[in-house]
Amino acid sequence: MLRNFSSLLTNRNTLIILLNRNFTSLEVSTALRPFYFAVHPDLFGKYPRERARNESSLQQLSSILEKIQKSKFVPPVSLSFYVKDKAKKTGKFRFINIHLQGNDIRTTLCTILQSCDLPTDYVDRIIPLPSTDNPNTNFKFRYKNEVDFTKVNQNHPIYAHIKMQMDMKRAQELLRLKNYLQKNALEALKKSRKGDIHREEVKRLQEIITNELQVEDLRWDCSWNEEHRKGCLLSFMSLVNQHPRIKYVLKGRVLIFSSFFTGVSLDGHIMLYSGEVRNNWLDFLKNIDRYDEALKRIPAFENSLSHVLRKIKIGRRKFMPKIVAGQYEQNLRQITTSLSDYIGLKHFPDEWPTSLENFEIVVETEAGPLMVSPTGQFIVPATIPGSLLVNFITTNLEEASKKNCGL
């Protein structure tokens, strides 16, 4: 039997060809790019209900696509989205329901795109529909995940072998699951009850820190379990008891235990890396005035970049990667210097408008993307050379303008 397809006779005259061609993750992302732009949560910044709906549905869709690509069974499901009605330019939303049924990735992608009145040309180029010009053909094409084995000819000798393999696999999976549950049920129950104790203790410690230190709020931005959170809070309380002066630093501030860094966020919140030693926390809290000063300087650096780039607005994405104020200040300084060096040698292109005040740029870390967001923002990494940034803006001015007008 050939590697790229297998066959199964359903009657004397018809042969089903099972095509195993699958989309890669990159092809799926490319095919759905117009859809993502149409429902992107950033488009609904002023509408929290619609934004939350789209975020939740996008997470479900991502899980569904992953299962389909791994040839796992996916039950029928309906996903709902809000789409901005750009055609009528009314600023209102269109509510759509997308019904997904079956495990064929091609059909799934086409259903998603067609539900939003988007073209499926890219999908058709990757896997075109089999030709049906000859109604008398003895061949029927099906994609691997699309085949319903309940409708095949069960009297065919090939089917007996396939059914036996399927039954054996199903029995093995059920036995494996049953044995796993029997083996781990008591341990899971024990850990769950233990987790309840830790959760209560974490809640109690958070209330103590919030009340005694007059912290405005205490948040978690890390994936630690309750036991680790408890240890983190106890370590922090021990630090405060040994160094009472830092209480005044925390008063009226938002305290966040982070999985990224220790520092002051762009929102002015105190971030403590949950995996760091206490001495590092102490050094940071003792010198927090220096970090706060960096936060105060940021508007001046943003104004400087705006001045160099023809009064362009300096924006920030709500869900941009976490960064401390000092690092963001360095990023702004770096990209402003690159543009100043460019202007010292060349002029901005003639096709640029005299002012870019209707456009917005977002400066991210050196690993950040170079793209135009669904809302028309120029999103650029801090390390981009001045010449490349100017070329990027020149190439995408029209696209950014259209997306701005569509909001």
Residues 306-335 have pLDDT tens digits of 999 999 999 988 777 778 899 999 999 999
**CA 234 to chain CA centroid, nearest Å:** 33
Report the pLDDT value the prediction gives residue 352, as an integer from 0 to 100. 94
Q: Label residue 31 left, alpha or beta by phi (over 0 means left) and psi (-120 to 50 means alpha).
A: alpha
Inform me whether the pLDDT recorded for 204 exceeds 90.
yes
How many Å apart are CA 200 and CA 190, to the nearest integer? Answer: 16
- This prediction has a pTM of 0.55
Inform me whether the pLDDT recorded for 149 exceeds 70.
no
Residue type at 164? M
Report the pLDDT value the prediction gives residue 356, as an integer from 0 to 100. 96
Six token digits for residue 128: 């075109």
In total, the chain counts a number of residues equal to 407
- Looking at residue 14, what DSSP letter applies? -
Inform me whether the pLDDT recorded for 305 exceeds 70.
yes
- Greatest mean pLDDT range, 8-22, 88-102, 149-163: 88-102
Residue 174: phi, psi to the nearest 5? -65, -40
Q: Which residues pair with 139 in a beta bridge?
A: 15
H-helix segments, 309-371: 325-345
Report the pLDDT value the prediction gives residue 357, as an integer from 0 to 100. 94
Report the pLDDT value the prediction gives residue 187, as an integer from 0 to 100. 87
- To the nearest whole percent, how much of the chain has pLDDT over 90? 38
Is the CA virtual torsion 153, 156, 160, 163 positive or negative? Answer: negative
* β 139-143/93-100 pair status: unpaired
Task: Say if CB 260 and CB 273 are below 8 A apart.
Answer: yes
Higher pLDDT, 372 or 69: 372
Q: Which residue has the tokens 């691997």?
A: 144
Report the pLDDT value the prediction gives residue 335, as an integer from 0 to 100. 95
How many Å apart are CA 302 and CA 297, to the nearest integer? Answer: 9
Report the pLDDT value the prediction gives residue 8, as an integer from 0 to 100. 45
Report the pLDDT value the prediction gives residue 169, as an integer from 0 to 100. 78
Report the pLDDT value the prediction gives residue 140, as an integer from 0 to 100. 47
Task: Say if CB 106 and CB 113 are below 8 A apart.
Answer: no
Inform me whether the pLDDT recorded for 115 exceeds 70.
yes
Higher pLDDT, 296 or 73: 296
Q: Label residue 254 left, alpha or beta by phi (over 0 means left) and psi (-120 to 50 means alpha).
A: beta
Inform me whether the pLDDT recorded for 60 exceeds 70.
yes
Task: Look at residues 39, 59, 61 and name the one whose alpha carbon lies nearest to residue 50.
Answer: 39
Place 86 in a pLDDT band, splitting at 50, 70 and 90.
Answer: low
How many Å apart are CA 173 and CA 181, to the nearest integer? Answer: 12
Report the pLDDT value the prediction gives residue 4, as an integer from 0 to 100. 38
Average pLDDT, the chain: 82
From 20-34, 89-103, 137-151, the region with the lowest mean pLDDT: 137-151
